[in-house]
Structure 1
């Protein structure tokens, strides 16, 4: 399959491995595992990004914690059934991986490009401090009639621009993947800590259809 198939969903991540391998699923005898990587932000904080890696790309029996890796791939989603509800689960599907020297500096430690279609009306709001935000759910096509559903968050002028978009609109976004902890209410006075993943958009373009 040519790389052109993957042009609409491109991810580059470089960071420190902070977990062991956790088995995810098996496809035609090929095992896939989740590995978590810590990626530094410019603000001195960090994001924990889950990677989906085939056992054919790396030795999943080895402990890589503390090592630095760089991967290229795609940001993918799938629906996991939890009781009577579906939960959108996101991870970076790894196509290439390399182990780095500890002092290696990546030119793209956390970058993503998506080309897709708006599948829910954007939600524009302001934070208590007055910061403008717009949430977009983007459908990015995959081969064989599949799609990935990627939450994106826009800021400032991009948020105001995105507020006008309609369902079905074709857009391209550039940015980074970020992780965010939140409290999920699971019963009266009972909350569970969860992590959400989304694309923080730095550049946004609307594509006019011919």
Structure 2
């Protein structure tokens, strides 16, 4: 059952390390640390993707800035309570971690496959330039009764198709993880720069 739950959420990232390890939490004596990697898009833009890495996979006391890594794992979420509300925190939970040479960048550097369910009504809209977009929130099951809640964005024909989904629709999708920065105005009128993460969908299908 656990293997099946792992198969429904598959991520592969090849990118350049652009931070030091920072401590996140500990589970049964195993420490987990956050690390950021930068992944290039074909458009020459970049995505900054947070990784959650076990201290048992790599020496977290070392600095690996500038090194190219290939990781395989799952895109996961958890709710962090702050400012009186829950905030969805997203990261790639790493199961395999390896350093690669420049040739590593020739592989598909940012890919994700998900098998899950629509858990909120999709939001379909048109941009001022006439581009069709649909925002989805997808629930993907994890072992032991847990689920990850992952924001996805569809474009064009996929947006029109996904915009008609009902809550509970079972779907498969393929795409990449992308990052974008935005400004959050706090209660004390301080503006804080934050980064949001979502899945840019390239292919989507309903499961009968």
Class of the TM-score when normalised by the shorter of the 2 chains = over 0.9
Q: Distance between the aligned counterparts of 2:46 and 2:175, measured in 1?
A: 15
Name which of structure 1's ranges 41-50 and 188-197 shifts more when overlaid on structure 2: 188-197
Find the aligned partners of 2:106 and 2:93 in 1 and give their Cα distance: 19
* Alignment partner, residue 187 of structure 2: 187
In structure 2, stretches of 5+ residues that fail to align are none
Q: SS at the partner of 2:145? A: coil
The residue that corresponds to 1:90 in the other structure is 90
| CA shift for structure 1 position 174 | 0.1
Residue-by-residue CA offset, 1:161-196 (whole Å, 9 max, x unaligned) = 011100011011100000011111213753211100
Matches within 5 A, 1:61-80: 61-80=61-80
Distance 1:192 1:127 in 2: 26
Deviates more, 1:118-127 or 1:97-106: 97-106
CA RMSD of aligned residues (A): 1.3
Write out aligned runs for 1:11-90 (5 A).
11-90=11-90
TM-score, normalising length from structure 2? Answer: 0.96
Q: Single out whichever of 100-109 and 169-178 deviates more from structure 2.
A: 100-109
Deviation at 1:101, TM superposition (A): 1.3
Separation (CA, whole Å) in 2 of partners of 1:26 and 1:126: 44
Cα gap change, 1:106 to 1:93, in 2 (>3 Å) = farther
How far apart in 1 are the matches of 2:37 and 2:105? 15
Q: Deviations over 1:110-130 (max 9, x none)?
A: 000001001100000111111
Q: Quick one: distance in 2 between partners of 1:88 and 1:20?
A: 23
Measured in 1, the distance between the counterparts of 2:38 and 2:83 equals 30
Q: Is 1:17–1:36's contact at 8 Å kept on the other side of the alignment? A: yes
Does the 8 Å CA contact 1:67/1:102 hold for their aligned counterparts?
no
1:32-181 correspondence runs (5 A): 32-181=32-181
CA distance in 1, matches of 2:129, 2:190: 28
TM-score under structure 1 length normalisation: 0.96
Q: Secondary structure at the match of 2:186?
A: strand
The runs of 5 or more residues in structure 1 that have no matched partner are none
1:14/1:106 contact within 8 Å kept: no
1:92-151 C-alpha deviation (Å, 9 max, x unpaired)? 000001101134334221000001001100000111111110000000000000000000
Question: For this pair of structures, how many residues does the alignment match?
Answer: 208
Distance 1:17 1:92 in 2: 14
- Name the one with the larger helix percent: 2
Aligned to 1:198: 198
